[in-house]
Amino acid sequence: MASNEHKFVLNNEEYLLTWYNKPIVTKCGIEQIALPILTEYILKEKLPIQLVNSKGTKEVTYTLARKILAQFSNGKKEKFRKINLNAKKSEIISEHSQLNTNNSIKISDKSLFLVACCSNKIERKELKNKTFEIESLHFNQELGKHRNEIFELINNPLTTRFRKNSKGISKKISNTIDIDKSHLAGFVYSKGLFYGDQGCSSSEWSPTEMEKIYIVSALFGIIRADDYIPLYDLSMNDTVNGQIKFAQKFWEGKLDQILNKLFENGYQIINLLGNDYSNCFDRQNSSKMINPNLLCKGVDCLRIRGKWLKTSISKKMK
């Protein structure tokens, strides 16, 4: 889980404390009145957090949330930037994964790049006449059961799925997935251009470089760029059968076992995910990943991540 989020249980009910442009507490995706919940949580769990400040005044939601997040960040003091609450979300600098940031990252044969899948894909006519086999994907032993479950659901014509556009208008999405054709995931996503025209061109990757790119897919969990996949259209934020952010919630807690094995084998995982995808992982794994300190705004983050990946993947593996 990202450093700006914390899950907790209070009176046998699960809550999520989220910090983006303000602290928010949700239960089953519904926003709650945060202050009394945070206060009760601190008292019941006997957290070493004062409920009154030096002036003898009760602490506000902002302060309590900040202290709770700091408490569960491996003992490290969290630094939260003051944000203009009147700014649009697209104008707010990303708060993504600030636990372990580094701009001068040493790339080696033990370095892996974790990137997000993309809705912009190649045309069907560009696919190969290769039948898609879900069992052939990497990590099938760990994720095969979950992949089959979500694949059958999304490919079911009775499943309803909606996605909001930039104006907040919901649009119905088709569920049909053609498995008769497939191609390397590195080519399918973004038409071979990760993170835009100025990003990293997967058509130039060698087989060794393909092995270094791990993709978080809303449909398949974690795959590699050299896995063959079909065309599909599923976002982490899609509403499926009435459930908001279905894929994000579906994969939460299911992908950490993959990262655990990679860490145990000495791999360095460089995280280039946005919040929607980072939220699938727990806080402990988020803190272990290397997060390039790329300051960016809104959609500009894609271009900056792409340029960083392009430069880094081309470095000589030592």
More confident residue, 274 or 155: 155
3-state SS, 104-167, equals CCCCCCCEEEEEECCCCECCHHHCECCCCCHHHCCCHHHHHHHHHHHHHHHCCCCCCEEEECCC
The residue among 64 and 286 whose pLDDT is bigger is: 64
Q: What is the pLDDT of residues 277-301, one digit of tens each?
A: 888 888 788 788 887 766 555 556 7
For residue 94, the number of C-alpha atoms closer than 13 Å in the C-beta half-sphere is 25
Tokens describing residue 92: 């707010």
Angular region, 314: left φ>0, alpha ψ -120 to 50, beta rest? alpha
Q: What is the CA radius of gyration of the chain?
A: 21
pLDDT tens profile 225-274: 999 999 999 999 899 999 999 999 999 999 999 999 999 999 999 988 87
| Tokens (6 digits) for 79 | 């630094």
Residue 128 per-residue DSSP state: B
By the 10 Å C-beta count (0-12 exposed, 13-18 middle, 19+ buried), 58 is classed as exposed
In the predicted model, is pLDDT for residue 64 greater than 80?
yes
Interatomic CA distance for residues 302 and 307, integer angstroms: 9
Torsion angle in degrees (nearest 10) through CA of 204, 120, 115, 91: 120
What is the average pLDDT score of the chain? 81
Which pLDDT score is estimated for 209? Answer: 85
Cα–Cα distance between 84 and 190 in angstroms, integer? 33
